């Protein structure tokens, strides 16, 4: 059958403690790491049907199904469920909030055991490998040693790539959508402006805003509004909003009037409730620095992997354009790794990975059972 | 000879007074309007060699030559001078700061005669026609009734288009570079975020910041950093900066590290000294609303014009892409207006109109003497 998942719940588990800390790739350690995660479907007796779903920058563990009492389904509910491409009748699906995030997994707003207060900017800089280490530990705690597949879009896809590099024997199929192995200077530039908006907000207080009971709302809103433009395409904004206005004729105003402006205002405002500014800083920054093929060890590590990669990019995605997926495909192929990259037509820009452009879900479905 | 202009000076002239106010297109009036302008070359005895240069959003009257004691030449000095395409041996060139600007022409920081304080947000909303009206009055004051050409890039090009609509018998050649007759929702979205950054800055004080001796620096800086990304191309950032950093290895930081970040910081900082936030609001907003062909009178007005249009767009310009120039060309042609539109290859994005991509200056030169 094809249908939606029923009710699901977010779980939390402590994975690293003072006696067994998370040693970070860039130096330093975290003495207490817990992670929020959800699972859908059943682990097979042979424990060989696990699929790990990696979320994007501002995602969370709630990828599919409904929380009790909620109206909005998980962010990848169109992909995950009974009979869907990530088929919960067949697969045991795990989705977990990232290290550094703000939706249940340890991050910069978590309490620093050394001070009893929130870490703020004392939280260590994270590498993609640190995010992978936490999710590998989660899998182990669930009794899974090997993944049928890891699936991720955008940052999630980059995490999948790093996972294969760090553990070349652990994943059979790596699904990487709308991602990159190395951000462009334009990518970095947009994120840098977003961070500037947040960090220059007077309510940022050098990262100690939580103690003061405030939030860098103005900067965080601007950051999200700007970033949102880069997640969609000019054509999709044209189709969706055109130049329609609330006002009419010569009734001009400096505040929002065009529908596209009201839409961005809404995107910016709702982001304030669902995401944290420090997590935004840490996760965008690790993306900027992410460049695994610049590491001379990477090629050696993955040369012997049996992981097969499926890369998908979208023709209207100008934030993580096809050129970036193509480069990743070349880098993988140069290491002898099996990789299939296809660019799909889609009008919706980078956000296409969350939607259903023609051919996309079929392509994922075929790869997951192939 | 081909060479640079020598020393030039900015002049100022009062063009509208309480007895002869500027009546605005959107209603309201300005009782005192003065304009800052420069001229290069000599007006011919027949007064038939005048070329008006229209600047872009954050430009000013100082288009060419050197101010006494200055090191930096005018912003379009590569185009304007003896033997250059806008040849000051041949043409009498006039360049003036826009109404609503902040470089000598009346704008929102000017004193409101009714209150004795700066207008702030009490400054009236401006239409493109109001900018044209001021520059037409300036020309009249210089004894020029007819232009050999009007030349403008970006907002300047849009002003040239409006000028022909408002005065179809006044301009022989209209040079419109990297412009648009109707901004896209994506264009509006970027400007809307820039305004949000400025207006939400606590130092904006609802536009009364000058009285308080402050400036919405944080918001204005973010606005400019973001806008600057849209003025260049991803490829040009790649060529210019790649992923080069100040730091190295795992020496990661949340502040600027990649060269592209230092560059944007510099762009944002220097903008604070040379431009005003309110002017930014007023001029971006009139661009959003600019849509002359939506006015049913436009076609009637320009149907009989003898003005010939030359439109140029650049293939890497994604802020005012070729599609926007192509639409303008179609709209003009549909009114029977002579128009020649060419897309030129150039790596530098929207800023190409200020630079010298191959073929660009030759194309302008030929049109101006043809």
Q: In a 10 Å sphere around its CB, with 0-12 CB exposed, 13-18 middle and 19+ buried, how is residue A208 labelled?
A: middle
pLDDT digits (tens, 9 = 90+) for A126-149: 999 999 999 999 999 999 999 999
Q: Could you tell me which residues are beta bridge partners of residue A311?
A: A176, A341
pLDDT digits (tens, 9 = 90+) for A41-56: 999 999 999 999 999 9
Return the CATH fold of A187-284.
Rna Polymerase Sigma Factor; Chain: A (1.10.1740)
> pLDDT above 90 covers what percent of chain B?
97
- B208 annotated binding-site participant: no
φ, ψ for residue A50, nearest 5 deg: -85, 135
d(CA B117, CA A323): 54
- Please name the member of B184, B202, B252 whose beta carbon is closest to the beta carbon of A289: B252
CATH code assigned to A7-182+292-369: 3.40.50.1820
Q: Give one DSSP letter per residue of A154-221, joined into a string.
A: THHHHHHHHHHHH-TTSEEEEEEES--SS--HHHHHHHHHHHHHHHTSGGGGGGTTTTTT---HHHHH
Res A204 pLDDT > 70: yes
Q: What is the pLDDT of residue B1?
A: 62
Q: Which residues of A318-340 are buried (b: 16+ CB within 10 A; e: fewer)?
A: bbbbbebbebbbebbeebebebe
H/E stretch holding B367 reads: helix B360-369
Distance from CA of A365 to the nearest CA of B (A): 33
Contacts of A26 in chain B (CB under 8 A): 250, 252
The residues, any chain, with a CB within 8 Å of residue B104's CB and separated by 6 or more, are: B10, B12, B34, B35, B36, B60, B61, B97
φ, ψ for residue A10, nearest 5 deg: -85, 130
d(CA B318, CA B349): 7
ipTM: 0.97
Q: What is the pLDDT of residue A1?
A: 61
The residues, any chain, with a CB within 8 Å of residue B163's CB and separated by 6 or more, are: B54, B132, B135, B136, B150, B170, B171, B174
* B185:A260 CB<8 A: yes
- The answer to whether residues B175 and B159 touch, using CB atoms and an 8 Å cutoff, is no
Longest dimension (CA), chain A: 69
The pairing of strands B86-87 and B92-96 is unpaired
d(CA A63, CA A53): 8
> Band of the pLDDT at B250, cuts 50, 70, 90?
confident
Res A315 pLDDT > 80: yes
pLDDT digits (tens, 9 = 90+) for B21-38: 999 999 899 999 999 999
The residues, any chain, with a CB within 8 Å of residue A311's CB and separated by 6 or more, are: A176, A177, A179, A325, A328, A329, A339, A340, A341, A342
Torsion of CA A271, A276, A282, A284, to 10 degrees: 0
Res B127 pLDDT > 70: yes
A205 is catalytic: no
Res A79 pLDDT > 90: yes
Q: What is the pLDDT of residue B4?
A: 85
Contacts of A186 in chain B (CB under 8 A): 229, 234, 237-238, 260
Check CB contact of B272 with chain A, cutoff 8 Å.
no
Q: In a 10 Å sphere around its CB, with 0-12 CB exposed, 13-18 middle and 19+ buried, how is residue B211 labelled?
A: exposed
A154 is catalytic: yes
Q: In a 10 Å sphere around its CB, with 0-12 CB exposed, 13-18 middle and 19+ buried, how is residue A91 labelled?
A: buried
Check CB contact of A237 with chain B, cutoff 8 Å.
yes
Which regions of chain A carry the CATH code 1.10.1740.110?
A: 187-284
Which structure tokens are listed for A70? 């909620």
* Residue B46: HSE in the Cβ half-sphere, 13 Å Cα cutoff: 6
A166 is catalytic: no
Q: At CA B93, angle to CA B92 and CA B96, rounded to 5? A: 140
Which regions of chain B carry the CATH code 3.40.50.1820?
A: 7-182+292-369
Q: Tell me what the pLDDT averaged over chain A comes to.
A: 97
DSSP state of B263: H
Which structure tokens are listed for B327? 């639409």
The pairing of strands A308-314 and A171-177 is parallel
Mapped onto helix, strand or coil, the DSSP state of residue A241 is helix
């Amino acid at each position: 059958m094809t249908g939606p998942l029923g009710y699901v719940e977010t779980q939390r588990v402590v994975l690293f403690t003072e006696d067994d800390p998370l040693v970070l790739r860039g130096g330093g350690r975290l003495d207490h790491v817990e992670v929020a995660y959800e699972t859908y479907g059943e682990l097979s007796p042979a424990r060989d049907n696990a699929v790990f779903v990696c979320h994007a920058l501002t995602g969370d563990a709630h990828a599919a199904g409904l929380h009790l009492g909620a109206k909005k389904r998980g962010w990848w509910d169109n992909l995950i469920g009974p009979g869907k491409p990530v088929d919960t009748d067949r697969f045991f699906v795990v989705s977990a909030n990232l290290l550094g995030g703000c939706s249940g997994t340890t991050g910069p707003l978590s309490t620093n055991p050394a001070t009893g207060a929130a870490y703020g900017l004392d939280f260590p800089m994270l590498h993609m490998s640190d995010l992978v280490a936490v999710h590998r530990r989660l899998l182990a705690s669930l009794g899974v040693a090997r993944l049928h597949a890891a699936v991720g879009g955008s940052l999630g896809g980059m995490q999948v790539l790093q996972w294969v590099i760090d553990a070349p024997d652990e994943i059979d199929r790596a699904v990487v959508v709308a991602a990159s192995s190395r951000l462009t200077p334009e990518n970095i530039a947009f994120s840098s402006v977003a961070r500037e908006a947040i960090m220059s907000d007077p309510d940022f207080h050098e990262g100690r805003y939580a103690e003061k009971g405030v939030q860098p709302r103005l900067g965080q809103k601007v950051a999200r509004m700007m970033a949102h433009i880069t997640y969609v395409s000019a054509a999709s904004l044209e189709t969706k909003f055109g130049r329609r206005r609330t006002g009419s004729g010569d009734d001009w105003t400096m505040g929002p009037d065009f529908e596209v402006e009201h839409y961005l205002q809404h995107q910016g405002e709702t982001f304030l409730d669902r995401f944290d500014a420090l997590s935004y800083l840490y996760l965008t920054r690790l993306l900027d620095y992410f460049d695994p093929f610049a590491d001379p060890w990477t090629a050696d590590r993955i040369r012997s992997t049996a992981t097969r990669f499926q890369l998908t990019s979208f023709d209207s995605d100008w934030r993580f354009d096809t050129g970036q997926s193509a480069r990743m495909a070349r880098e993988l192929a140069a290491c002898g790794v099996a990789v299939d990259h296809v660019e799909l037509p889609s009008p919706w820009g980078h956000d296409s990975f969350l939607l259903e452009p023609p051919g996309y879900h079929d392509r994922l479905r075929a790869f997951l059972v192939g």
